[in-house]
Chain A
Amino acid sequence: MAARVSGTRPVGAVFAWHPHVPTLVMLCVAAAGLFGPFVTGGGAKLLEGGGLAIGCLALLVAALVPSGFGGPWAVPLATPLAVSAAFLALLAQRGLAGPAGWGYWLTLLGSLAAAATAAGRVSVIELESDAPRWQHRVQRLVPAATVAFLVLLAWEGLVVGSRVPKGIFPRVSDIWLAFLGTWRVLLADAYLTFVKEVLFGFAVGLTLGFLVGSAIAFSRFLQRGFLPLATAFGAVPIVGLAPVLGRALGVDWESKAAVVVIVTFFPVVLNTVQGLTLVDPLKLELLRSYGARPLTVFLKLRVPNALPYVFNALKVAVVVGVVSVIVAEFLIPGPPNGLGQRISLSAHRGAFDIVFAAILVSSLISMALYWAVGLLERAFTAWHPSTRGS
């Protein structure tokens, strides 16, 4: 059997003194909640619970599947199934008839505890090293995904339970509905923000930065004259320049791309200079002993040596670039497109569900960008100590 379920530590070492205490506490909390009043002064208890009650039951089943039951499959599969079932059930619930009662809060608490317990059991399964890859993947993904879900569940449960109006703080399900209603617009915004502004600015900033960095690396004058300036410039909050750029380059996408160019340019210049000049002297002398020309030294030694440095700059620039471009869209009001504009305009209208949906889209794309840069880094600098382990 490839996987062995260790049933002795359901949550973690903290509770190792008695493995079943957290499970029991969780059971009591959830049970009390399910039979308590969901709405203050309400009638039929369990039915009022709706989505939350169904979700809580699903999570309890997952958390209480016996370790030996169904071989190595049952626990890892029950957890994600129950988590998705609970999430969908809760999303389907449309508000409470009255103020939430103590039954509601205890059920919410019990659900969170059940989900945590189920995920904890997946993460303590001890896999043999020759177990199939999907089992390792499930073990890595389920706990992480469950924690994300716990945050969403707590968010949804708190907002529903305290009956905050949608115009002040939206539910997760409101955001989802807003996304379903506006995804075409949001994708068009994302195209403008990420492809035209971020990617374009990024490419220009990288190219310019590398060229200027190379020039600095080979010129004593530029090293003394320009480098200190570039270092100092790195501390300038460039986003503050956005209105100036807007005046100079127009309120369309060009001025926002210019912000990205600037925030990419400086870290790339500094790291390129470092990478091209901090070369092992022995490796330089080796090429000298071959009578190599300066261009050969540059291409065969300095550029490969600089790559890890440049990628470090890029990873910083991606994060800062996305933040800067969103803020720049706030600061340069132009045509009502772009995710920053969408956030700004929707916030003014009090449509916070759309604000969050736009934030969600930009986070996802930003993560994908960061991930893509990481992938390129691994492809180009697999030899470097920082990447060689993975």
Chain B
Amino acid sequence: MPEAPVIIDVQDVSKLFRVGKVEAVALQDANLQIHDGQFVSLIGPSGCGKTTLMRLVADLIEPTSGRITVAGKSPKEARAAREYGYVFQAPALYDWRNVLANVMLPLEIMGWPKGERRARAEEMLRLVGLEGFHRSYPWQLSGGMQQRVSIARALAFDPKLLLMDEPFGALDEITREVMNFELLRLWRQTGKTVVFVTHSIAEAVFLSSHIVVMTARPGRIREIIEVDLPYPRDHETRESERFFELTTRVREALRLGKEGEGAVGGAASVGGKGAGGPAKTLAKVGY
């Protein structure tokens, strides 16, 4: 099967933060390739650098060393070319704009013609199931609805990539499951590449085509697990034996990472789209 092109290429990337005289290694020697159309989750304990990695890709911060390529460009160029939409941990909606105007915000900034902005924003709100709420203000919506608006906003300008930093972390379990279904539907409908940061093993297994397991202190990529559950996934997926095996695997990888055995910077590549077969570790140990 032909491999989809690499859309995110992370090579030997490290990031140090300096707080006073103390230096903290947020990310060390990360290597990762994400291919077009994949749904990749970054999972790991707090401080493992998953958000840092995502922010490096988005050019919200700059790496201390190493090289990142996004859609064939440097992160800075990719940001200027609006290659990605970013969904933050909080919805970050503008309180003074109603739902429709919030979704139109990126289109205004990117200079879309007025009529098109409106049509496009209405289409996006239909996509996330918020047709009746154009005139509502953010504070009138529930947390789940606010996060839907922010997803609609991230998709509005049709970026190649969707970067999602724990978007459902603040939601209750029930809303979260609903949002997971919605996100999978959106992903399959739009064919975007999604990078998704999460703390939840079940969420990562349910959503992803590939899971990047990370370890803390220093932040490293430990292992990449391919999730071979077939799409579309539904409630039965969650109850299948394979789902159970995969969550156990992720859990074990996380636990091993915590014990710090053999976790030396990982050179890893996420397999091409549609690569089947049993879950396998594509790369575990570098150097």
Q: A residues within 8 Å of B by Cβ? A: 280, 282-283, 285-292, 296, 300-301, 304, 307, 381, 383-385, 388
> Closest B-chain residue to A385, C-beta based?
B139
Q: With contacts A282-B89, A283-B92, A384-B96 known, what are 6 further pairs, Cβ within 8 A?
A: A286-B88, A288-B79, A290-B110, A291-B80, A300-B105, A388-B139
Is B86 in contact with A286, judged by CB distance below 8 angstroms? yes
Closest to A297 in B: B109
Query: Lowest 4 A-B CB distances belong to which pairs?
Result: A282-B92, A289-B86, A383-B96, A304-B96
Contact B109 A289 (CB under 8 A): no
Which B residues from 209 to 263 make CB contacts under 8 A with A? none
Are A285 and B105 neighbours in the complex by a CB distance under 8 Å?
no
Considering the chains assembled together, what is the distance between the CA atoms of A283 and B137 in angstroms? Answer: 16
Say whether B60 faces chain A, with CB atoms less than 8 Å apart.
Answer: yes
Tell me if B79 and A289 are in contact (CB < 8 A): yes
User: Using Cβ atoms and an 8 Å threshold, which residues of chain B touch A285?
Assistant: 60, 86, 88, 92
Residue of A nearest to B105 (CB): A300
Of A290, A296, A307, most buried by chain B (CB within 10 Å of CB) is A290
Main secondary structure of the interface of B (DSSP, over half): loop
Contacting residue for B109 out of A287, A304, A383, CB 8 A: A287
Minimum CB–CB distance for B120 against chain A, Å: 15
Known: A282-B90, A286-B86, A384-B95. A300 touches B109 (CB 8 A): yes
Which A residues are CB-close (under 8 A) to B207?
A: none
Q: How far is the CA of A68 from the CA of B86 in the complex (A)?
A: 65
Q: Which of B57-108 contact A (CB under 8 A)?
A: 58, 60, 79-82, 84-86, 88-90, 92, 94-97, 105-106, 108
Contact, CB under 8 Å: A292 / B109: yes
Binding site for A on B (CB under 8 A): 58, 60, 79-82, 84-86, 88-90, 92, 94-97, 105-106, 108-110, 137, 139, 157
**In the complex, chain A residues whose CB is within 8 Å of the CB of B92:** 280, 282-283, 285-286
18 pairs, A vs B, C-beta closer than 8 Å: A282-B89, A282-B90, A283-B92, A283-B94, A285-B60, A285-B86, A289-B58, A289-B84, A289-B86, A290-B82, A291-B80, A292-B109, A300-B94, A304-B94, A307-B96, A383-B139, A388-B137, A388-B139
- In the complex, what residues of A have CB within 8 A of residue B90's CB? 282
Cα distance A242–B86 in the bound complex, in angstroms: 55
Cα distance A292–B80 in the bound complex, in angstroms: 9
Residues in B with CB closer than 8 Å to A304 are 94, 96
- Inter-chain CA distance A388–B138, complex, in Å, is 12
Would you call A290 and B106 a contact (CB within 8 A)? yes
> Measured between alpha carbons, how far is A383 from B97 in the docked complex, in Å?
8
Most buried by B among A288, A291, A296, A304: A291
- Closest chain A residue to B139, Cβ basis: A388
Neighbouring A residues of B94 by C-beta, 8 Å: 283, 300-301, 304
A390 to chain B, nearest CB (A): 14
- Residues on A with C-beta less than 8 A from B95 are 383-384
Highest count of chain B CB atoms <10 Å: which of A289, A296, A388: A289
Cα separation A366 to B279 with both chains bound (whole Å) = 75
A56 to chain B, nearest CB (A): 52
Cα-based distance from A304 to B138 in the complex (angstroms): 15
Q: A296 touching B58 by the CB < 8 A rule?
A: no
Q: Which residues of B contact A384 (CB under 8 A)?
A: 95-96
Chain A residues whose CB sits within 8 angstroms of the CB of B105 once the complex forms: 300
Report B-chain residues with C-beta under 8 Å of the C-beta of A300: 94, 105, 108-109
Min Cβ gap B59→A in Å is 8
Residues of A within 8 A of B80 (CB): 291
Residue with the greatest number of chain A CB neighbours at <10 A, chosen from B82, B94, B97, B139: B94
A288 lies within 8 A of B60 (CB) = yes
- Contact check: which of A282, A291, A301, A383 meets B88 at CB < 8 Å? A282
Contacts of B84 in A (CB 8 A): 289
How far is it, in angstroms, between the C-alpha of A300 and the C-alpha of B105 when the chains are bound?
9
State the Cβ distance, B201 to closest chain A Cβ, in Å.
Answer: 26
Partner of B79, one of A280, A282, A291: A291
Residues of A near B109 (CB, < 8 A) are: 287, 290, 292, 296, 300
Name the distance in Å between A167's Cβ and chain B's nearest Cβ.
56
Give the complex CA separation of A385 and B108 in angstroms: 26
Q: Which residues of A contact B97 (CB under 8 A)?
A: 383
**Listed residue (B58, B90, B95, B157) with the most chain A CB atoms within 10 angstroms of its CB:** B95
| Chain A residues within 8 Å of B96, by CB | 304, 307, 381, 383-384
Bound state CA distance, A202 and B101, in angstroms?
33
Q: Smallest Cβ distance from B149 to chain A, in angstroms?
A: 12
Name the B residues within 8 Å of A296 (CB-CB): 109
Q: Which residues from B are CB-within-8-Å of A287?
A: 109
Cα-based distance from A304 to B102 in the complex (angstroms): 13
Docked CA distance A265–B154 (Å): 40
Nearest-neighbour CB distance to chain A for B70, whole angstroms, equals 12
> What's the minimum C-beta distance from B117 to chain A, rounded to whole angstroms?
13
CA distance in complex: A101, B255 (Å): 95
Contacting residues, chain A, for B106 (C-beta < 8 A): 290
List of A residues within 8 angstroms of B108 by Cβ: 300
Residues on A with beta carbons closer than 8 Å to the beta carbon of B86: 285-286, 289
For B84, B85, B105, which residue has the most chain A Cβ atoms within 10 angstroms? Answer: B105
Among B58, B88, B89, find the residue whose CB has the most chain A CB atoms closer than 10 A: B88
Task: Output the nearest chain B residue to A380 by Cβ-Cβ distance.
Answer: B96
